[in-house]
Every structure is written in C-alpha cells, then in structure tokens.
Amino acid sequence: MFPILFQWGPVTVYTYGLTVALAYICAAYFSSQAARRMPPKWVAISAEQLWDFTSVILLGGLVGARIFFVGLHWDLFRSSFLEIFALWNGGLVWYGGFIGGWISAWLYTRFSRLDFWRVLDQFIPFAALGHAIGRIGCFLNGCCRGLPSTAWCAVTFPGSAQPVLPTQLFEALGLLVIYGFLRGLQTKGILEKRGQLFGIYLVSYGTLRFLIEFLRGDQSVAWLGLTLQQLISIGLFVIGLFLIARSQTSDIRHQTSGKTNGNEA
C-alpha cells in the first residue's frame, strides 16, 4: 500500500524497514519492562540483557529470513547479485528468520551462560508481538498477499488488477492473540517447566500459519497439496507438542526427586 513512507531529498524512508525497527523496539522494550516486574526467581535474562538479546535475534533473523527468501527465488537474484542486500524492498521469509533467530538466541545464551529454554519462555510472547508488527509492515509493503476475493475485507494493492484477501492483517491479528495468550500463561506454574511456554508458542503459531496458508495467493504447492510453509508449520507443531510433553515429564521427575530427598532428610 505504502512501500515508501516519505522522501526528503536523497533520504528515502521505507515503510517495511520502519516497521521492522518498530518491531525490534517494541519487543525489546516490553520484554525488558516485564522482566523488571517479574519476581527475581523467575527472571532468566535481565532487563538490560534483553536489549542485546533482541538485537542479536534481529540480526540473525534478518540474515536467516533473507537467505531463505533468496534460496526460494534464486532466479530473481541470479543476474543481480547486489539485490540480495536490498532488504528495504522486502523479501523476507519468516521461517528462515525463525531459524536464524533461534540459532542466534542459542549462541547468545551459551556465551552468556544463561538457561536457553528459560530465556525463550521469558521472551517468546514479545517475539510474537514483534512478528505481528512486522506483518503490518508486509501489508503496507504489499507483499505476502492473499487470494483474489470479493469479500468485504479484500483490498486492492497498487499494480494489482483485482482485490485480494489481506492475509498479512489476518496473521497480525492472530499473532496479537497469541501474544496475549502467552503473556497470560507467564505464571509460576508454567515458567518453572522449562520450554513449555515456547512449546505452546510453536503449537499456536504453527496452527495459525498452517491455516493462513490456505488463504495465501503467492505460494506454490510443495508436497501432498501443501505449501512448504505448511509443511514447516506441521514440523513446528510436532516439536511444540514434544517440548510440552518433555516439560511435563521433567516437572514430574523434579517433584519426585524432591519428595525422595525430603524423605531421606
């Protein structure tokens, strides 16, 4: 809709880049504020460290998202190699960004000697919030469109001959719901089970993205009538269920161990 927010002489401010920056600021700010309000016992990463942590995730996520996009559309970049670095034009794949961000998060927690799973449980709601803002950027940039439609909510993008479903806004709304849901679950009973909240996120977003893909008009079938993103969504859903089950098992073992130690004492 508005890929360029404004131009001032040689300076061009791209809407997509601005929303990515806004997503970073919101994720870092709100997660750090939440860390200050949490009981110290449940703080896996400090409010100050969260700014660095979010920066690392953003960088790793951008690299992963761009690599994934370029790999899927290599024919577009074969003759114009420098276009690979033109991030202001859009062209990021969330699942590539997720993988890149996940690896970056693991490296950061490893070098900082932090508990990887507890850090993810603390931060993941705010990652969903940042993702929601990023999807609004996709809408303003005109990418990630839905199928042609005559529904009341359909929009016509510049250069398009017919209105399409605003799947970017559908996903942004779903992510905001996930954000609120995960924030509500950040309680003692959940946070003490390492990896459970992150697993719930994977199940929630995997389901959302799987369903949204049926409405997308810019994806192609990869296997069994499903898109590549749907296949990845299924994988995330399964991993999420595994993490939830593992966290329950670990909690049971921890409680059993505590009772045993108490009897021995």
Q: How many CA atoms lie within 13 A of 178 on its CB side?
A: 28
Q: Which residue has the higher pLDDT, 60 or 255?
A: 60
Residues across the chain: 265
Residue 90: the pLDDT is: 59
According to DSSP, residue 45 is labeled S
Q: What span, in angstroms and rounded, lies between the C-alpha atoms of 172 and 157?
A: 18
pLDDT greater than 60 at residue 159: yes
For residue range 180-200, list pLDDT tens digits in order: 999 999 988 888 899 999 999
Section 146-174 average pLDDT? 91
- Tell me the pLDDT band of 262, cut-offs 50, 70 and 90: very low
Tokens found for residue 43: 């703080």
Place of tokens 């940042």: 130
Of 107-111, 152-156, 190-194, 260-264, give the lowest mean pLDDT range. 260-264
Contact, 25 vs 134, CB < 8 A?
no
Residues near 10 by beta carbon (within 8 Å), at least 6 away in sequence:
none
pLDDT digits (tens, 9 = 90+) for 116-143: 999 999 999 999 999 999 999 889 888 8
CA distance 124 to 130: 10
Angstrom distance (rounded) from CA 62 to CA 66: 6
